[in-house]
Amino acid sequence: MTLVEGVWYFLESIKNPESLLGTASLSFAMTALWDDILHNDQLIQYVAPIAVDAALLEGVLMRTKDDPNASDVVNYAPFTLLPSVVSSSLLEQAYSVQQDFNLLVDEVSQNTAFLESTLASTIKVDDFTAQLFKIYRQVLKEGVTQTVVLGINRSDYMFDQETNSTPALKQVEINTIAASFGGLTSRTTAVHRHVLNVLGKFTEASKLLTNNPSKGIAMGIAKAWELYGSDRAVVMFLVEETQRNIFDQRCVENELWKRNIRVIRRRFKDVFEKASLGNDKRLHIDGEEVAVVYYREGYVPKSYNKQNWEARLLLERSRAVKCPDIATQLAGTKKVQQELSQPGTLEKLLPNKPEAVARIRATFTGLYSLEMDEEGDKMVAMAIADPERFVLKPQREGGGNNLYGGELKQVLEKIKDSPERTSYILMDKIRPLPALNYLLRAHSPLKISECVSELGIFGVYVRQGKDLIMNKHAGHLLRTKAVEHADGGVAAGVAVLDTPYVI
């Protein structure tokens, strides 16, 4: 069963699970489905090693912290013992809005006036965003050399649910650069299917949806490579100095090799030392012409020193297709996310698309500006008075950057009268209903945890000039973490890989 077929199968067979089960019953099912297993210690001790072996067999792997650049000793990537329950209506909603978000990100990236006005305050106080914006302006001044645009993003959601209310899909953020784990999540489903089979849950195992984001991501890269127009050119993965998550990237890479598209892996350091542009701005490195630069690096300040910023500028000035280009990376900033939630903004960016606007807006939670004005003063005071209601978010990707509770209050009290506050946005805290599960991590004790999950949908689009060549969703990623961890993803060592069990 394909992913799309599976989603529609569930929607047709359980047309409206909330109305059939009732809100309380659905909530109970979402938190208590595996109770007969979770509270059976003997069964857990038996099945957990089987699950770990299954992960190793399926290639759900990461390099170790002790030797992050070598594959001669590896271990399994952290994952849940059992799949987590997700409402079919919420999963379908997340999929149905992804193409709208693809369109929106693309429109924002093309709207210079919007990016200029939205980020005007932020670039005065946030050096990282300012450096990105400096490159953006220089490339615009020189003239963009490549009309093909490739976007690979992931829109992340949590299921907001106050007591006895129907769960609602609310967007956490959209990642427009280096959206990861499309590869490993493609292999996690088979692990959970095996675990359920071992536990005698054959019917439940058969219902797990097939999911292969790495294939969809590779399809987008392959289309951009094709439009570049040279079968001798390569795709270059721009990678970090430390490459623990290489197997996730290899899943995408191998899909390209299957299409006879050659792939090379280089770091910013390699680009600075060895890359060059010809008179026609074609990018060459180590004798290879580069058709597509796929960034799995470059989303946090620590990625850059003076040489790396020069390398980034070289890449942006080149004729190679960039994924993302600098404008698309800016479109994924938290300040842009906050501005998109303002009344009338979506309508201006997506004129004559009222259905898309409605679908997007339905996923927004409260997002608030901290500009140096009366409204910003009001929001700062409100957050200091009630810090448990909000999340304070800087212009950063990669997880582990957000501030909560006492820490949020402490930071805001320190910067409340400073323009530095405009480098943050304020967001209503999303409150999902916790469920019990076991989070399997190498060298960690086996214990039951109260957990919450985050659903990501991968989107891929390709535009050539003004023509949208491709616009699709490419699969999902479910990550789960213990409730005591407020922030952080799998790479940050907090969340673990999961599989949705759709009801």
Residue 57 CA from chain centroid, whole number: 26
Determine whether the annotation assigns residue 245 to a binding site.
Answer: yes
8 A C-beta contact, residue 455 and residue 157 = yes
8 A C-beta contact, residue 390 and residue 430 = no
Short-list 189, 208, 170, CA closest to 93: 170
Determine whether the annotation assigns residue 298 to a binding site.
Answer: yes
The verdict on whether 206 is a catalytic residue reads no
Determine whether the annotation assigns residue 487 to a binding site.
Answer: yes
Determine whether the annotation assigns residue 427 to a binding site.
Answer: yes
Determine whether the annotation assigns residue 180 to a binding site.
Answer: yes
Determine whether the annotation assigns residue 67 to a binding site.
Answer: no
Rounded CA separation 436/377 (Å): 40
List 59, 87, 109, 173, catalytic entry: 173
Determine whether the annotation assigns residue 249 to a binding site.
Answer: yes
List 397, 409, 449, 475, catalytic entry: 397
The CA angle 84-86-87, to the nearest 5 degrees, is 155
List 154, 223, 266, 267, catalytic entry: 154
Tell me how far CA of residue 22 lies from CA of 19, 166, 435, in angstroms. Answer: 5, 9, 18
Structure tokens at 12: 């047709």
Residue 334 CA from chain centroid, whole number: 13
List 89, 102, 121, 175, catalytic entry: 175
Determine whether the annotation assigns residue 154 to a binding site.
Answer: yes
Determine whether the annotation assigns residue 265 to a binding site.
Answer: no
Look up residue 63 and give its amino acid.
Answer: R
The verdict on whether 375 is a catalytic residue reads no
Tell me how far CA of residue 76 lies from CA of 53, 438, 497, in angstroms. Answer: 9, 15, 11
The CA angle 169-122-344, to the nearest 5 degrees, is 50
The verdict on whether 393 is a catalytic residue reads yes
Give the side-chain half-sphere CA count within 13 A for 325. Answer: 27
Non-local CB neighbours of 265 within 8 Å, separated by 6+ positions? 236, 237, 239, 253
The verdict on whether 173 is a catalytic residue reads yes
Determine whether the annotation assigns residue 173 to a binding site.
Answer: yes
First to last CA, the chain: 16
Non-local CB neighbours of 11 within 8 Å, separated by 6+ positions? 88, 89, 92
8 A C-beta contact, residue 501 and residue 204 = yes
The verdict on whether 416 is a catalytic residue reads no
Determine whether the annotation assigns residue 177 to a binding site.
Answer: yes
Give, as one character, the DSSP assignment of residue 416.
Answer: T
Determine whether the annotation assigns residue 77 to a binding site.
Answer: no
Determine whether the annotation assigns residue 400 to a binding site.
Answer: yes
List 193, 312, 334, 335, catalytic entry: 334
The verdict on whether 398 is a catalytic residue reads yes
The verdict on whether 409 is a catalytic residue reads no
Determine whether the annotation assigns residue 394 to a binding site.
Answer: yes
Rounded CA separation 175/184 (Å): 17
Determine whether the annotation assigns residue 393 to a binding site.
Answer: yes
Determine whether the annotation assigns residue 178 to a binding site.
Answer: yes
Phi, psi of 449 (to 5 degrees): -135, 150
List 84, 180, 186, 211, catalytic entry: 180
Rounded CA separation 487/494 (Å): 8
Determine whether the annotation assigns residue 441 to a binding site.
Answer: no
Short-list 85, 77, 72, 91, CA closest to 35: 85
Determine whether the annotation assigns residue 430 to a binding site.
Answer: yes
Determine whether the annotation assigns residue 402 to a binding site.
Answer: yes
Determine whether the annotation assigns residue 221 to a binding site.
Answer: no
List 187, 193, 282, 393, catalytic entry: 393
Short-list 29, 30, 15, 13, CA closest to 480: 30
Tell me how far CA of residue 315 lies from CA of 132, 323, 339, in angstroms. Answer: 13, 11, 29
List 111, 265, 281, 398, catalytic entry: 398
| β pairing state of 288-295 and 84-86 | unpaired
User: Which residues are part of the catalytic machinery?
Assistant: 154, 173, 175, 180, 334, 393, 397-398, 479
Bind-site residues for ATP? 173, 334, 393-402, 404, 427-430, 454, 481, 487
Bind-site residues for substrate? 154, 177-180, 243-245, 249, 296-299, 479, 490-491
Bind-site residues? 154, 173, 175, 177-180, 243-245, 249, 296-299, 334, 393-402, 404, 427-430, 454, 479, 481, 487, 490-491
Bind-site residues for Mg(2+)? 173, 175, 397
